[in-house]
Amino acid sequence: MKRIHDKDDIIQVGLDLVLSRGFSATGVEAILKQANVPKGSFYNFFSSKEDFALAIIDKFVADRVEVFSPIFSDQSLPPLERVKKSFETLIKTFEGAECSKGCLIGNLGQEMADQFENVRQRLETYLQEWTKAVSRLLLQAQKENAIPADMDADMLAESLISSFQGALLRSKVKKSPEPLNNFIHLYFDVFLTKRKVT
Amino acid sequence: MKRIHDKDDIIQVGLDLVLSRGFSATGVEAILKQANVPKGSFYNFFSSKEDFALAIIDKFVADRVEVFSPIFSDQSLPPLERVKKSFETLIKTFEGAECSKGCLIGNLGQEMADQFENVRQRLETYLQEWTKAVSRLLLQAQKENAIPADMDADMLAESLISSFQGALLRSKVKKSPEPLNNFIHLYFDVFLTKRKVT
């Protein structure tokens, strides 16, 4: 049992460190030291540092699914409001961390996608799942006539998530949530409103 | 003269390596070896690796200004078309690199903004300058009645650039230019078109 506990500790500590410093800059020794786990035990749990990256991505996504699931299935809110609330929840977390760290998926996508094919594929899978969950809600919103029916829901969902990632990056450099708040305003009060071409 | 040449070589080689691998993963020795510059000379030119990061950012931005300037000032195109063309030009370069590397400003923003305050400030300055250049064109587009007058040009310019960065990141993970092409379509054919609230 101790070994499983150790592995969870390494993943949790490693996730926090990689979110703060990036993947390359996070040394295995620093993780083990902070997790209070014996030196040398890292490779008992992970076949490589890339394998460890996959484990922290899985953990990050599992945590995020726990946050998103109740929001996405909240029948008391219209579908579009659920999408909006899911982004606003992430923005609050980001603000709580003084506009630092951001989203592990975006961070590692930027840092690792070109060189670690397994990591790229894992991130791609999760981004597609996230897109599908948002797209389902956008389709419902279209049925309820809340957003224009001529917009492609899949394309729009992917664009929402990408634009959120871009606004997150902009806020991280600006050290201000303003770009994220503008993202919410522009998409949910302007772009997705029912407007007619004049 | 040789020393100045060496410094330029280090910056050019370093820029390419950091675009490919990221900042932390790029060792000083690898840069010097590839630039064919004597070991130990790095710190003759740069007071620190952070100082080197600032130099490659300046070089990246100078190169980009050379690409953007003739597009932004091209009187044969309407202002909104110039903005669109500037993004399309970056997309072509990205596609030419097999959807890898991306934008140094986005990459280093993601990797360094939390830990290297001088780098963060330099990136912030350049992002603000980019935003101003786009905003000026959007204001002209508004005067020509090409985009809705009720949209805030500064906010829209920042959002365009952020969403472009997000789409670039998405394309890097997907290894497909599709998210970038969708970004062009959604912003320039849908979101910014003159639509009336129904």
Rg (CA), chain B: 19
Per-residue pLDDT at A92 exceeds 80: yes
Per-residue pLDDT at B40 exceeds 90: no
- Contact B102/B168 with Cβ under 8 angstroms? yes
What sign does the dihedral B25-B28-B30-B31 (CA atoms) show? positive
| % residues pLDDT > 70 (chain B) | 95
Contacts of B191 in chain A (CB under 8 A): 190-191
pLDDT digits (tens, 9 = 90+) for B89-140: 999 999 999 999 999 999 999 999 999 999 999 999 999 999 999 999 999 9
Q: Measure A69 CA to nearest chain B CA, in Å.
A: 23
Per-residue pLDDT at A1 exceeds 50: no
Per-residue pLDDT at B198 exceeds 50: no
pLDDT band at A197 (very low <50, low <70, confident <90, very high): very low
The angle formed by the CA atoms of residues B118, B160 and A109, to the nearest 5 degrees, is 60
pLDDT digits (tens, 9 = 90+) for B51-62: 999 999 999 999
- What pLDDT, on the 0 to 100 scale, is given for residue B195? 58
Residue range B150-178: mean pLDDT, rounded:
97
pLDDT digits (tens, 9 = 90+) for A150-187: 999 999 999 999 999 999 999 999 999 999 999 999 99
pLDDT digits (tens, 9 = 90+) for A105-130: 999 999 999 999 999 999 999 999 99
ipTM of the complex: 0.95
Decide: helix, strand or coil at residue A38: coil
Task: Name the residue among B113, B174, B197 with its Cβ closest to that of A124.
Answer: B174
Task: Name the residue among A158, A165, A197 with its Cβ closest to that of B182.
Answer: A158
Average pLDDT, chain B: 94
In this prediction the pTM is 0.96
Can you tell me the distance from the alpha carbon of B183 to that of B187, in angstroms, rounded to the nearest whole number? 6
Q: Mention every residue, 6+ apart, whose C-beta is less than 8 A from residue A80.
A: A137, A138, A141, A146, A147, A188, A192
Task: Name the residue among B102, B114, B158 with its Cβ closest to that of A170.
Answer: B158
Contacts of B24 in chain A (CB under 8 A): 22, 24-25
Residue range B23-45: mean pLDDT, rounded:
92
Q: Mention every residue, 6+ apart, whose C-beta is less than 8 A from residue B133.
A: B68, B72
- What pLDDT, on the 0 to 100 scale, is given for residue B3? 61
Can you tell me the distance from the alpha carbon of A65 to that of A91, in angstroms, rounded to the nearest whole number? 16
Which chain B residue lies closest to A106 (C-alpha atoms)? Answer: B169
CB–CB contact A114 B124 (8 Å) = no
- Contact A75/A144 with Cβ under 8 angstroms? no
Per-residue pLDDT at A18 exceeds 90: yes
Which chain B residue lies closest to A167 (C-alpha atoms)? Answer: B162
DSSP letters for A69-89: HHHHT-TTS-HHHHHHHHHHH
Contacts of B184 in chain A (CB under 8 A): none
What sign does the dihedral B142-A170-A173-B46 (CA atoms) show? negative
CB–CB contact A20 B193 (8 Å) = no
Contacts of A124 in chain B (CB under 8 A): 173-174
- What pLDDT, on the 0 to 100 scale, is given for residue B41? 87
Task: Name the residue among A156, A172, A198 with its Cβ closest to that of B194.
Answer: A198
Q: Mention every residue, 6+ apart, whose C-beta is less than 8 A from residue B198.
A: A194, A195, A196
CB–CB contact B165 A166 (8 Å) = yes
Contacts of B101 in chain A (CB under 8 A): 114
pLDDT digits (tens, 9 = 90+) for A124-154: 999 999 999 999 999 999 999 999 999 999 9
pLDDT band at A195 (very low <50, low <70, confident <90, very high): low
